[in-house]
């Protein structure tokens, strides 16, 4: 059973206590909903941000991403923050056994169904991937036997300037105006939180040059974040005389001609296509590395995927699949879509950790 609770903006951007009290409040509501109010249970925590992890139940938040900026969390162990909030509530005793990145949770839950699943991918508000690396290549951890899951945090690819050649002026503006300027540059080119904003900046530039809307920019179009990424999906699904495009533009205070609508749709297509290709290029590099690691001529592998852009955009996933096929011809890659996989994966890891712990006690 699962239930989704969204975190309001003021809580995302408030303080550590307020954020974690809110999360514990959601847990309490959920327990009540399933008729288990006040019980003591082991808990797996999916935490989808870059962390330094020394143990299964310890994760020091390095930097917020995706519009979060609650104070007092960066540099702290989020498991401690969660435990403190559970204590403050004095309603139940939940033992935080594991903290898991969403990519890892997704890979684990898909791996439960498909043993070939050794990669996890998220393309939603943010983007990231994880994969199984050979222990002998993991310098930070002792031992050479077996494999270990690596959370790549690929969203931060490019933060050292290596993507500068392909970043456009629009990527630069979107980055500079974000809460975490200079960070997560790859993520800002491919994920849901930013694609609408890239399109909005392009539309403004085209209008300034007199190429759109008879050169008139509406006040609403000047508002940051107003062009939602779901508009990209709606516009690209629009085949009937671009009626949707017309109505979306109208809501943004823009009177459009037929030519305007065709151009707007083309901009949306190009931006989503670029995102799919970049994501596909990243994924091709990952699967080909796994193949080379194992000294194989051909690798059959499954990628567990989740995220709103991947699931709901009409073309993103097919562009990405096609790109992976072209760039890693020596791999046969299957994409397995997960349903709330990251939560289930964290639960799975928690259950295994509990079992190992119990076995150790006997």
Q: By CB under 6 A, name the one of 105, 126, 196, 276 that touches ligand BGC.
A: 126
Query: Catalytic residue among 16, 21, 77, 102, which?
Result: 102
Mark the segment that binds ligand BGC (CB under 6 A) among 43-51, 233-241, 319-327, 328-336. 43-51
What's the min distance (Å) between Cβ of 253 and ligand BGC? 31
Look-up of token digits 């390095």: 62
Give the residue closest to ligand BGC by C-beta. 126
Number of helices and strands in the chain (H, E): 13, 9
Chain centroid offset of residue 255 CA: 34
**106 lies in the binding site for ligand BGC (CB under 6 A):** no
Instruction: Report the Cα–Cα distance between both ends of the chain, in Å, rounded.
Output: 32
Tell me how many residues contact ligand BGC (CB under 6 A). Answer: 17
Quick one: which of 234, 241, 321, 312 has its CA closest to 269?
234
| Beta strand spans in the chain (E) | 41-46, 51-55, 58-61, 94-100, 117-123, 127-134, 147-151, 299-306, 331-337
What's the min distance (Å) between Cβ of 153 and ligand BGC? 6
Nearer to ligand BGC, 188 or 261 (CB): 188
What's the min distance (Å) between Cβ of 68 and ligand BGC? 9
Mark the segment that binds ligand BGC (CB under 6 A) among 29-37, 42-50, 311-319, 331-339. 42-50
**187 lies in the binding site for ligand BGC (CB under 6 A):** yes
Q: Is 63 an active-site residue?
A: no
Tell me the angle at which helices 229-236 and 243-251 cross, rounded to the nearest 10 degrees.
150
Q: Is 102 an active-site residue?
A: yes
Q: Is 1 helix (H, G, I), strand (E, B) or coil?
A: coil
**48 lies in the binding site for ligand BGC (CB under 6 A):** yes
Q: By CB under 6 A, name the one of 21, 102, 197, 236 that touches ligand BGC.
A: 102
C-alpha span between 341 and 339 (Å, rounded): 5
Q: Which residues contact 296 (CB under 8 A, 6 or more apart)?
A: none
| Binding site residues, ligand BGC, CB under 6 A | 48-50, 65-66, 101-103, 122, 124, 126-128, 153, 155, 184, 187
Active site residues: 66, 102
């Amino acid at each position: 059973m699962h239930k989704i609770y969204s975190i309001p903006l003021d809580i995302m951007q408030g303080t550590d206590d307020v954020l974690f009290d809110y999360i514990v409040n959601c847990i309490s509501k959920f327990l009540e909903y399933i008729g288990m109010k006040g019980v003591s249970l082991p808990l797996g925590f999916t935490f989808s941000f870059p962390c330094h992890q020394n143990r299964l139940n310890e994760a020091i938040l390095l930097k917020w991403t995706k519009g979060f900026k609650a104070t007092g969390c960066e540099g702290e162990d989020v498991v401690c923050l969660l435990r403190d909030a559970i204590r403050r509530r004095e309603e139940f005793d939940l033992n935080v056994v594991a903290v898991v990145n969403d990519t890892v949770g997704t890979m684990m839950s898909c791996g439960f169904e498909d043993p070939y699943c050794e990669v996890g991918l998220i393309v939603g508000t943010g983007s990231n991937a994880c994969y199984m690396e050979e222990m002998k290549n993991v310098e930070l951890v002792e031992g050479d036997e077996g494999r270990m899951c690596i959370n790549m945090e690929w969203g931060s690819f490019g933060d050292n300037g290596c993507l500068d050649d392909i970043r456009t002026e629009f990527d630069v503006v979107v980055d500079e105006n974000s809460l975490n300027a200079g960070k997560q540059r790859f993520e800002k080119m491919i994920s849901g939180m930013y694609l609408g904003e890239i399109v909005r900046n392009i539309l403004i530039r085209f209008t300034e040059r007199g190429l759109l809307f008879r050169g008139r920019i509406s006040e609403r179009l000047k508002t940051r974040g107003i062009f939602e990424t779901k508009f990209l999906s709606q516009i690209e699904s629009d085949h009937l005389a671009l009626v949707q495009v017309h109505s979306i533009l109208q809501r943004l205070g823009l009177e459009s001609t037929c030519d305007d609508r065709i151009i707007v749709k083309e901009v949306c297509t190009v931006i989503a296509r670029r995102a799919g290709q970049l994501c596909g290029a990243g994924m091709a590099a990952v699967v080909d590395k796994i193949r080379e690691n194992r000294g194989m001529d051909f690798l059959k592998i499954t990628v567990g995927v989740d995220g709103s852009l991947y699931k709901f955009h009409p073309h993103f996933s097919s562009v990405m699949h096609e790109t992976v096929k072209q760039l890693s011809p020596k791999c046969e890659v299957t994409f397995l879509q997960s349903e709330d996989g990251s939560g289930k994966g964290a639960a799975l890891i928690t259950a295994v950790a509990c079992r190992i712990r119990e076995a150790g006690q006997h």
